[in-house]
A = this chain, B = another copy of it.
Amino acid sequence: MGADARNCYAGVVDDPVTPWRAALPAQHRALRAIERDMAAAGVVALSWYDVLLELDAAPGRQLRMQDLAARTVLSRTRVSRLVDDLVRAGLVTRQPDPDDGRASLATLTTEGRRARRAAAPVYLAGIQEHFARHLTATERAQVARALTKVVAAHDATG
């Protein structure tokens, strides 16, 4: 773990690059492993799960496309296409927003809830196995606190 050209701050007391360059592979590898587990278990894909999860947590189990995008790591465009797929699979319905004719609402169906519940144990086990298990409770809390601040800062600036 010696200093090398990959990081000109290596060994310096305060280093802005190392946490960033640790986060990249940590998240990427855990993500891929969780996705593999979910596919192997025959449950919905992670991107579907994220959408179903946010809808299940929303009031009336429905959200506008834009709000769905804001709550996930998906673009508005991607959400639009993902909801198409979910509607085709019967997990979600799409209705116009009665309060704003421009907006459209995605609503979770009973089958959508069932699909989310079926996937939940695989999802939680994947997070445990490929991410949380490798950290102490203190470290998990530290990571949660720090990265929540980063997200909050991005939300604030737009």
Contact = CB atoms under 8 A, between A and B. Distances in A.
**Interface size range on A against B:** 35 or more
Interface of A: 4-6, 13-20, 22-30, 33, 53-54, 56-57, 73, 124, 127-128, 130-135, 137, 139-151, 153-154
Number of copies: 2
Given A6-B57, A54-B6, A127-B17, A25 B73 contact: yes
Contact of A131 (B13, B20, B141, B144): B20
Given A124-B17, A139-B145, A26 B150 contact: yes
A23 B114 CA distance: 27
A4 B137 CA distance: 21
12 contacts: A5-B53, A16-B127, A16-B132, A17-B124, A23-B23, A24-B73, A26-B147, A27-B147, A134-B153, A135-B150, A139-B145, A143-B143
